[in-house]
Amino acid sequence: MQNARKIVDVLSALQEGWIEEMRMEHGDLNIKVDCSHLAQLIAPTYQFFYLVLKKVEDIYFEPWDEEETKINSVKDILIFKPDIINVELEDSGYIKLYSNCTNVYSGGNIFMLAQDVLIFDEDFIELSPERLSELSEKYWYSDKT
């Protein structure tokens, strides 16, 4: 459960980013998140972060428009062009990611079970969750004038 909290914190730091790419590889989920407002705090030309969710046991999408629908294909979820509105940890241990979608559905929730997360900047230099949190706090709470 501790690592699930870490995953929630990482995804929460990427709020207002959107999922550009997703693919399963050997049980890990590789995600490219377009979050230029944070990435540019590392380098002015950066736009993306890369996440590796380790040992993903389950992932699915439930559209808000069709509550009985459950989509398990990572390829199909990516088609919806989901963003990151909010993230929470369910009592069941699932990570629940709230998303607006710009294709097919108006939005929905992505549910996932994973063991851990790794974060990388655009040059594939690993970042700690604490460093990502610092960037997020700097963006959201610094004086932007």
Alpha-carbon radius of gyration of the chain: 15
Amino acid of residue 85: I
Dist. CA 137–CA 21, nearest whole Å: 25
- Give kind and range of the element (H or E) at residue 87: strand 86-89
Dist. CA 41–CA 46, nearest whole Å: 8
pLDDT of residue 144: 54
Given a cut of 50, is residue 140 above it in pLDDT?
yes
pLDDT of residue 145: 43
pLDDT of residue 65: 87
Dist. CA 95–CA 116, nearest whole Å: 12
Dist. CA 52–CA 54, nearest whole Å: 6
Residue tagged 């709020």 (tokens): 15
Burial of 110 (0-12, 13-18, 19+ CB in 10 A): buried
Q: Which of 100, 112, 131 is nearest to 52 (CA)?
A: 112
Structure confidence by residue, pLDDT tens digits, 57-88 = 999 999 998 878 999 999 999 999 999 999 99
pLDDT of residue 66: 84
| CB-CB contact of 20 with 81 (8 Å) | no
Structure confidence by residue, pLDDT tens digits, 5-63 = 999 999 999 999 999 999 999 999 999 999 999 999 999 999 999 999 999 999 999 99
Q: What is the 3-state secondary structure (H, E, C) of 35-78?
A: CHHHHCCCCCCCCEEEEEEECCCEEEEEECCCCCCCECCHHHHH
